[in-house]
Amino acid sequence: MQQVDAIVAGAGIWGCVVARVLAEKGRKVLVLEKRPHVGGNVRCETDPETGIEIHVYGSHIFHTHIDRVWDFVRRFVEFNGYQHKVLARHAGKTYFLPLGLTLVNQFYGLDLTPAELPAFVAAESAKGFAGGRAPANFEEQAIAFIGKPLYDAFIREYTRKQWGTDPRNLGADVIRRLPVRASYDVNYFPDYRQGIPLTGYNSLFDRLLDHPNIMLECNVDWLAWRNKSLIASRQPLTFYSGPIDALFGYKFGPLPWRSLRFEQERVPTVDFQGTSVVNYTDADVAFTRIHEFKHYHPEDAAAMSAPSTIICREYPQAWKPGDEPYYPVDTPESRERLALYQAETAKMPNLVVGGRLGEYKYYDIDRSIDRALEVASNEVL
């Protein structure tokens, strides 16, 4: 095997950015990916019948307010300017998320002004959570923010499905950043830099790895490969982005994760739901949301007018070793276990653990890129 300066284990967004930065610093980088393709959970496929770009592992929308991330990623792709809007179905009606004037006025049958909304929400919150102490769990914190009627309609059962537990078992921190907008702005993300790569997400990963200093091998699981390494002279610095608990064989027990199951369907209609994502907040619907992928590329006239469309129902489910982990479950117990694994990584000076799975944090794409830029730029090989 050719001499390399660094190994990147995992070709998701964090790993691909790390590899690119190192390569541009003149380092020889070997990227190992256990799947047959790069891109991690942002991987897409193009439907041959309609040309629709399908997000294989659920919807991914790029949005950021971080200047260096925006400057970096636009070296490789341009974006179409898509602005993400999410609808919610409750009791047979459709509402715009997030919580703001549009939703509140429709739900309560009111015509509040921006100046009136904060006082109204505060009054509703006081009815459900009297205060006098800090909210002790997710449910109390949510009611303290928005009141019980809105919580019951849009959050309680959706959260129960998403996390597989009663919301009262979740920490208050989970929802403390819930936005309540005193405006009619229905853009889901506040970042003005948003979009989907015009040439598709796969092109981003292909271009990140298109460098003479980068070697790529797919269908190679680094956890199994590391014990059979052909690099005999030295073990190069390795950047690992897999699950931190799997790295140590779950010696302290698996960290709790939530997984997802996706069911795709071809529907013989031009437009199934009129938008990219609709959340289903009621308990009698097993899935949490339906994705309709053609809406991510409104500039693609052929795909938008195709006589059929691709939808995907998303079902959260319990995770066990061997399943794909998606969401870390943040509890006092999981934080204690994570600290044990982090202490183990500190004993390994030639190993850098990062990314969503390695850090046990749910990062948006831009935050993963930012963390990768930070790690790879500061690392001395």
Which among 314, 359, 366, 370 is annotated as catalytic?
314
- What's the CA gap between 68 and 214, in Å, rounded? 23
Q: Can you read off the two tokens belonging to residue 111?
A: 């015509």
Which among 27, 289, 356, 371 is annotated as catalytic?
289
**Type and span of the H or E element at 293:** none
Which among 258, 337, 356, 371 is annotated as catalytic?
258
Measured at the CA of 238, the angle between CA 4 and CA 360, to 5 degrees, comes to: 155
Give yes or no: 323 in active site. Answer: no
**Exposure string over 222-258, b if 16+ CB within 10 A, otherwise e:** bbeebeeeeeeeeebbbbbbbbbbbbeeeebeebbbb
- Residues 6+ positions from 336 with CB-CB distance below 8 Å: none
Give yes or no: 20 in active site. Answer: no
Which among 152, 271, 282, 364 is annotated as catalytic?
364
State in Å, rounded, how far the first CA of the chain is from the last one.
Answer: 19
Which among 20, 43, 156, 181 is annotated as catalytic?
181
Give yes or no: 57 in active site. Answer: no
Give yes or no: 289 in active site. Answer: yes
**Do residues 55 and 32 touch, judged by C-beta distance below 8 A?**
no
Give yes or no: 362 in active site. Answer: yes
Give yes or no: 160 in active site. Answer: no
- Residues 6+ positions from 142 with CB-CB distance below 8 Å: 151, 155, 156, 167, 175, 178
**Do residues 4 and 231 touch, judged by C-beta distance below 8 A?**
yes
**Do residues 31 and 8 touch, judged by C-beta distance below 8 A?**
yes
Give the SS3 label for residue 278.
strand
Give yes or no: 181 in active site. Answer: yes
- What's the CA gap between 30 and 3, in Å, rounded? 9
Give the residue numbers annotated as catalytic, written as ranges.
177, 181, 258, 289, 314, 362, 364
